[in-house]
Amino acid sequence: MQRPQRHPLTALPALCTLCALCAVLTALSPPSTAAAIGSRAVMPDGVDVYERVRPDADHVRREVMIPMRDGTRLFTVILMRKGTSNAPLLLSRTPYDAKSTTNRLPSQRLADLVPVADIEFVNDGYIRVLQDIRGTHRSEGDFVMTRPIAGPLNDSGVDESTDAYDTIDWLVRHVSESNGKVGVIGSSYLGFTTLMAEIDPHPALKAAVAMSPQVDAWIGDDYFHNGAFRVGSLDYVVSQSTGKGAAGAAIARGTGDDFTAYLEAGSTGDFARRWGVDRFPYARKLMENPAYTAFWSSQAVDRWLAQRPLTVPTMLVVGQWDQEDSYGATAVYRALAPKDVRHDMVSLVIGPWRHSGVNHYGHDLGPLTFAGDTALQFRTETMKSFLDRHLKGVDGPRTPPVLSYATGIHRWQVSERWPVGQLTPLFLDGQFTASFDRPERQGHDDYVSDPARPIPFVARPVHLNASTTQWRTWLVQDQRFVSDRPDVLSYRTAPLRQSVQIMGAPEVSLFAATSGTDSDWVVKLIDVYPDEAPEGADQGAKPTMAGYELPIGIEIFRGRYVHGFATPAPLTPGQAEHYRFALPNVNHVFLPGHRIMVQVQSSLFPVYDRNPQTYVDNIFNAAPQDYRPATQQIHRGGAKASALLLPIVGGSDAVR
């Protein structure tokens, strides 16, 4: 039977009437907030911030703005494990973005966030602090490249020393989990800021570890080496000086061969002007100050430290094949060691690493394989022990005055001083031989150096980008790629009958003349491997290294400075001058059956700019017609006996 139609509400049983009414009212009401957002397609989708640190994280993260004495605030990241108390603070002051450096991986584990070199410290309760230096990334103020100490070159009243002091003062007063003791640590630019913290140190600063520090940017770090300009510095200036260092700026010259790009541009000044780099204030400072005047000597950090008392225990670290800052660590060691009367305040470490390689994996470098992870060995067995003693009060083993890794035999060695070896001349002789016996007969070997055909520093194509493997390993590049060039002279010993170990900086004693009025001189010390596949005692060498020509040290000298770095002058054509300069510090063992080779040439392009070989006041402004071929003479024997002085352990007795 058909039932009559009813109103929807009256059709429901009595008990459901109220529910039905709610349903209708709900249908007529606005949707929930979540539903409303989902239905409004044009609602803005951005949020201000996402809190990465979740409740289950094993750490605490704080981001603070620390005020300096002039009111400028510096962005600072503070990281520690949950439950940390009475812990030391480990501070690094960086131009390379404190925030991203401490967000290595998207993780809730503290060990995943920090760089590899920090893991041993955060796992052992250290409070890790990273700060953007003024004018970079999230910090306030103006950026000044390696800001000089307050004084003649800096009238602002603030510098990296005062900023470090103010930062440490804030940290020990505001980080309640700390024990009031601070260590500073860092490599490269961060090595510079580490040393700057020691200029007028805060009382809470108890230890410092400066790795590959930039100390003297003209003598042997970063921008110049003995007056020769390092062309890739312009790329760094652009990237670091644009948009507070966060803009990712780069010279847009494409991905081709940098050798060709720089050669076709002309002088380095022409290159800078073509690409607009001359607009950067620091690039102009570089190009307007080619000589070692007070502009550079007044910025030398080792000179600043030499004038102050030694109050902070300091560890200085450098890689034997540091392609950027090979000079600074040992220069500071020379400045500080005489002040360390008890031999417990200053230590030097030389490892088998590239630039900043101590902070990465140290198993190998280019073709070389070492005895384990040498970087990890040093960090855990030596550096952490040093910091634990001074920051935690742990009574551990004595820090070695000098710790160096002997390449060739691949083992760590401790010594009480540096250098260890006695300088012993290896003479250049006739028939392109080298000998520890002084040649009586005088002569010379000639070659033509042509700026239009400069010698590449690595096998082409060349890429100067600092992140490439080519750049990181160029100091261990097999030199056979240039040995047959007519503008490269190679002198080598007979196969060695016994091992020869050197510990120190080899020194060049070169008598040379040019037909031009200026010239560069490049000297290389090379370990020539036997033609047979290496094995046995030749630890770390691979079968592919048969005949390998391994550089142990490479350095350049700009001839115009032979009579003084601050007083450049034209060379007299045909007149032999005596050039004295040092190669980087090394600990290396030349094994029996190997040969020792010395190479001499007059360009190393484009890691260094071309010398036009015609004297001009400023090579940055050399004109095309200034670049001329020149005949070079390398003198040997008699009163002009060119030699490479090797710091041989055991001196001359070791090679007889």
Indicate if the pLDDT at residue 140 is higher than 60: yes
pLDDT band at 265 (very low <50, low <70, confident <90, very high): very high
Query: Which residue shows structure tokens 């209708």?
Result: 24
Query: Which residue shows structure tokens 């009025």?
Result: 517
DSSP string covering 291-325: S--HHHHTT-HHHHHHTS---S-EEEEEETT-SSB
DSSP string covering 117-183: GGHHHHTTTPEEEEEEPTTSTT--S---TTPPPSBTTB-SS--HHHHHHHHHHHHHHH-TTEEEEEE
- In Å, what is the CA distance from 335 to each residue of 211, 302, 310, 390? 16, 6, 10, 22
The 3 state secondary structure assigned to 427-480 is EEEHHHEEECCCCCCCEEEEEEECCCCCCECCCCCCCCCCCCHHHHCHHHCCHH
* Percent of all residues in the chain with a pLDDT value above 90, rounded to a whole number: 86
CA–CA distance, 317 with 352 (Å, rounded to integer): 11
Indicate if the pLDDT at residue 25 is higher than 60: no
**Residue partners of 260: CB distance under 8 A and separation at least 6:** none
- Check residue 254 and give its pLDDT: 86
Q: If you average pLDDT over residues 60-75, what whole number do you get? A: 98
Task: Assign domain 224-296 one CATH number from 3.60.110.10, 3.40.50.620, 3.40.1550.10, 1.10.3020.10.
Answer: 1.10.3020.10
CA–CA distance, 60 with 40 (Å, rounded to integer): 37
Q: If you average pLDDT over residues 158-162, what whole number do you get? A: 98
- Check residue 535 and give its pLDDT: 54
Average pLDDT, the chain: 93
Look up residue 391 and give its two tokens: 């920051």
Taking only the tens place, the pLDDT of each residue in 355-372 is 999 999 999 999 999 999
> Which amino acid would we find at residue 436?
F
- Check residue 41 and give its pLDDT: 73
CA–CA distance, 72 with 66 (Å, rounded to integer): 8
Strand pairing report for 443-449 and 368-369: unpaired
The 3 state secondary structure assigned to 577-631 is EEEEEECCCEEEEECCCCEEEEEEECCCECCECCCCCCCCCCHHHCCHHHCCCEE
pLDDT band at 103 (very low <50, low <70, confident <90, very high): very high
Query: Which residue shows structure tokens 């704080």?
Result: 62
CA–CA distance, 252 with 175 (Å, rounded to integer): 44
Sketch the domain layout of the chain as residue ranges.
Answer: 59-218+297-415, 224-296, 422-655
| Length of the chain measured in residues | 656
Look up residue 340 and give its two tokens: 């360390």
**Residue partners of 108: CB distance under 8 A and separation at least 6:** 53, 54, 56, 57, 58, 59
* Percent of all residues in the chain with a pLDDT value above 70, rounded to a whole number: 93
Answer for the pair 464, 649: CB distance below 8 angstroms, yes or no: no
Does this chain's domain 59-218+297-415 share its CATH topology with 224-296?
A: no
Indicate if the pLDDT at residue 230 is higher than 70: yes
At residue 511, the 3 state secondary structure works out as strand
Omega of the bond prior to 367 within 30 degrees of 0, cis?
no
Indicate if the pLDDT at residue 538 is higher than 60: no
Q: Residue 52's closest CA among 112, 131, 123, 119?
A: 112
CA–CA distance, 256 with 464 (Å, rounded to integer): 11
Look up residue 214 and give its two tokens: 């930039």
Indicate if the pLDDT at residue 210 is higher than 70: yes
Q: If you average pLDDT over residues 315-330, what whole number do you get? A: 98
Look up residue 408 and give its two tokens: 């060739």
Q: Residue 283's closest CA among 230, 350, 326?
A: 230
Look up residue 388 and give its two tokens: 């634990």
At residue 68, the 3 state secondary structure works out as coil
Q: What share of the chain is helix, strand, coil (3-state, %, to 5)?
A: 25, 25, 45
Q: How many CB atoms lie under 10 A from the CB of residue 293?
A: 13
CATH class for domain 422-655? mainly beta
Q: If you average pLDDT over residues 400-420, what whole number do you get? A: 97
Q: What is the CB-side half-sphere exposure of residue 76 using CA atoms within 13 A?
A: 26
CATH T-level assignment (fold) for domain 59-218+297-415: Rossmann fold (3.40.50)
Indicate if the pLDDT at residue 12 is higher than 70: no
Answer for the pair 19, 70: CB distance below 8 angstroms, yes or no: no
First-residue to last-residue Cα distance in the chain: 127
> Which amino acid would we find at residue 426?
L
Indicate if the pLDDT at residue 6 is higher than 80: no
Indicate if the pLDDT at residue 38 is higher than 90: no
Omega of the bond prior to 461 within 30 degrees of 0, cis?
yes
Q: How many CB atoms lie under 10 A from the CB of residue 461?
A: 13
CA–CA distance, 213 with 197 (Å, rounded to integer): 13
pLDDT band at 3 (very low <50, low <70, confident <90, very high): very low
Indicate if the pLDDT at residue 22 is higher than 60: no
pTM above 0.75, yes or no: yes
Q: If you average pLDDT over residues 103-119, what whole number do you get? A: 94
Look up residue 569 and give its two tokens: 């002058």
CA–CA distance, 556 with 330 (Å, rounded to integer): 18
Residue 231 φ/ψ region, left for φ over 0, alpha for ψ in the -120 to 50 degree band, beta for the rest = alpha
pLDDT band at 9 (very low <50, low <70, confident <90, very high): very low
Answer for the pair 123, 80: CB distance below 8 angstroms, yes or no: no
